[in-house]
């Protein structure tokens, strides 16, 4: 068989060089161009809950880069239709800022840690809000399906490639990723880098990992361009995120007054805005204290992964020099009391959270003034009512404007 002519080979080389040049130009130019477009169209996407925002990196980065936006990370409370929900309450920036909600049902502190670690130095000196659900801390581990649904390959790749990320944070994140191998089975380069980050190896293995990192870099670049293009399509209404959901009832006053808004907060937990729990749920079923041991045991297992995941989240925020406010959605105090749980046992959960936050200088709020409020939360502590959201929104307003009540601030807060 005749060999290929030098001219033929020359054309192949030129074509390859041209292709590499085009890719290089896209890598350098596309993100900057789309970031500028993203800033102009970000307002439109703030009200839309989408996987584009949760699983990508561009929209979250743009939110952190905009001083008029407060990112809020949470779970199903951010998507459940309730009056005064944070994204819709601040949609028109009634007090000078908007919020960017990130998260959906099934999200936990581990997913939050991954999303934030993927943002890296973008978090430096930036405020953000983390919302916690008590249900996460009452189970042994995150169900595999939940984790798989919230796991982002693009964010995981960014964590593995970020040379500025603290190695210990990367190691701890990698160890947790290995607990869910199903999410890595179709990503050999990512899986190899995750294993190396979790359990560093030398010699030939280290050389092999270096070659895998090169492959991972190109894969991540491709996903980053895809993220940029997907965001652009969403901004242009070409596809992706769908229609903005209907605006729920929002408490207002003219002129804007928190005193007046909060004075009417109770009505947003009752028809036609909301539906309180059945009064039968608050009829005493057990003598005070009879449920204390089981209640504490439900939160007290050190083997439960959520506690170490929460510490990982806090340490990630600390290492990235972020300024978070941690909000624990309150338990339903009257319901727990009727079931035989005393106030002292109830506060085992809050105090444990508070201790972990205070050790890192982060403020925690769990609204102790509403311990006996039957219409602050629904589903007995899983979600906020329209009334509960108003108090959360008030807190966020104080946090954004540096008016956080002193009782919320940690004594170790810098």
What is the number of other CB atoms lying within 10 angstroms of the CB of residue 91? Answer: 17
Average pLDDT over residues 116-137: 96
What pLDDT is recorded for position 300? 81
195: helix, strand or coil: helix
What is the number of other CB atoms lying within 10 angstroms of the CB of residue 13? Answer: 9
What pLDDT is recorded for position 9? 46
Q: What is the pLDDT of residues 98-120, one digit of tens each?
A: 999 999 999 999 999 999 999 99
Q: What is the pLDDT of residues 281-295, one digit of tens each?
A: 999 999 999 999 999
> Long-range contacts: 260-265, Cβ < 8 Å, 24+?
261/390, 261/394, 262/390, 262/391, 262/394, 265/386, 265/387, 265/390, 265/391
Torsions phi, psi for 406 (to 5 deg):
-60, -30
Domain extent for 168: 53-92+102-367+380-400
Q: Report if residue 44 sits inside a domain.
A: no
Q: Report if residue 3 sits inside a domain.
A: no
Q: Report if residue 26 sits inside a domain.
A: no
Going by C-beta distance under 8 Å and a sequence separation of 6 or more, which residues neighbour residue 73? 101, 102, 103, 107, 112, 115, 116, 128, 129, 130, 131
Counted domains in the chain: 1
Q: Which parts of 47-152 fold into alpha helices (H)?
A: 51-55, 58-65, 86-89, 109-117, 144-150
**Pairing mode, strands 69-73 and 127-132:** parallel
* Residue given tokens 């040379």 in the structure block: 163
Mean pLDDT taken over the chain: 85
Q: What is the pLDDT of residues 306-357, one digit of tens each?
A: 999 999 999 999 999 999 999 999 999 999 999 999 999 999 999 999 999 9
Q: Which parts of 101-187 fold into alpha helices (H)?
A: 109-117, 144-150, 153-161, 167-178
pTM, full prediction? 0.87
Tokens of 241: 């995120």
What pLDDT is recorded for position 409? 56
Q: Report if residue 292 sits inside a domain.
A: yes
Average pLDDT over residues 222-226: 80
27: helix, strand or coil: helix
What pLDDT is recorded for position 21? 54
Lowest mean pLDDT segment, chosen from 158-162, 214-218, 296-300, 370-374? 214-218
Q: Report if residue 413 sits inside a domain.
A: no
What pLDDT is recorded for position 347? 94
What pLDDT is recorded for position 8? 45
Average pLDDT over residues 200-222: 70
| 245 pLDDT higher than 80 | no
Q: Report if residue 393 sits inside a domain.
A: yes
Q: Report if residue 68 sits inside a domain.
A: yes
What pLDDT is recorded for position 48? 73
Q: Report if residue 131 sits inside a domain.
A: yes
């Amino acid at each position: 068989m005749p060999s290929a002519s030098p001219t033929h080979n020359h054309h192949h080389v030129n074509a390859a060089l041209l292709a590499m040049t085009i890719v290089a130009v896209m890598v350098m130019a596309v993100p900057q161009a789309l970031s500028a477009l993203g800033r102009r169209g970000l307002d439109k996407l703030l009200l839309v809950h989408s996987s584009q925002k949760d699983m990508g990196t561009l929209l979250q980065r743009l939110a952190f880069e905009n001083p008029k936006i407060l990112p809020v990370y949470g779970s199903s409370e951010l998507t459940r239709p309730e009056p005064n929900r944070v994204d819709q309450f601040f949609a028109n920036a009634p007090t000078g800022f908007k919020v960017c909600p990130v998260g959906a049902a099934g999200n936990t502190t581990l997913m939050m840690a991954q999303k934030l670690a993927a943002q890296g130095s973008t978090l430096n000196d930036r405020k953000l809000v983390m919302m916690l659900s008590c249900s996460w801390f009452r189970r042994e581990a995150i169900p595999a399906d939940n984790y798989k649904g919230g796991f982002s390959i693009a964010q995981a790749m960014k964590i593995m490639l970020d040379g500025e990320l603290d190695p210990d944070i990367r190691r701890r994140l990698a160890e947790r990723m290995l607990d869910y191998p199903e999410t890595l089975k179709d990503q050999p380069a990512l899986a190899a880098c995750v294993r190396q980050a979790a359990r560093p190896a030398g010699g030939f293995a280290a050389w092999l990992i270096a070659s895998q990192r090169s492959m991972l870099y190109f894969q991540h670049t491709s996903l980053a361009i895809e993220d940029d293009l997907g965001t652009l399509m969403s901004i242009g209404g070409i596809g992706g995120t769908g229609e903005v959901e209907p605006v729920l009832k929002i408490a207002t006053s003219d002129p804007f007054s928190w005193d007046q808004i909060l004075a009417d907060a109770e009505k947003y937990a009752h028809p036609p805005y909301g539906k309180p729990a059945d009064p039968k749920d608050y009829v005493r079923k057990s003598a005070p204290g009879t449920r204390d041991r089981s209640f504490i045991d439900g939160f007290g297992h050190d083997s439960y992964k959520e506690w170490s995941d929460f510490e990982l989240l806090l340490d990630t925020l600390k290492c990235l020099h972020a300024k978070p406010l941690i909000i624990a959605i309150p338990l339903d105090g009257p319901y727990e009391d009727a079931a035989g749980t005393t106030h002292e046992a109830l506060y085992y959960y809050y105090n444990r959270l508070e201790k972990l936050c205070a050790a890192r200088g982060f403020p925690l709020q769990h609204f102790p003034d509403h311990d006996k409020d039957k219409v602050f939360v629904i589903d007995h502590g899983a979600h906020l009512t329209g009334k509960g959201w108003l108090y959360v929104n008030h807190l966020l307003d104080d946090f954004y404007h540096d008016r956080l009540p002193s009782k919320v601030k940690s004594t170790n807060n810098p």
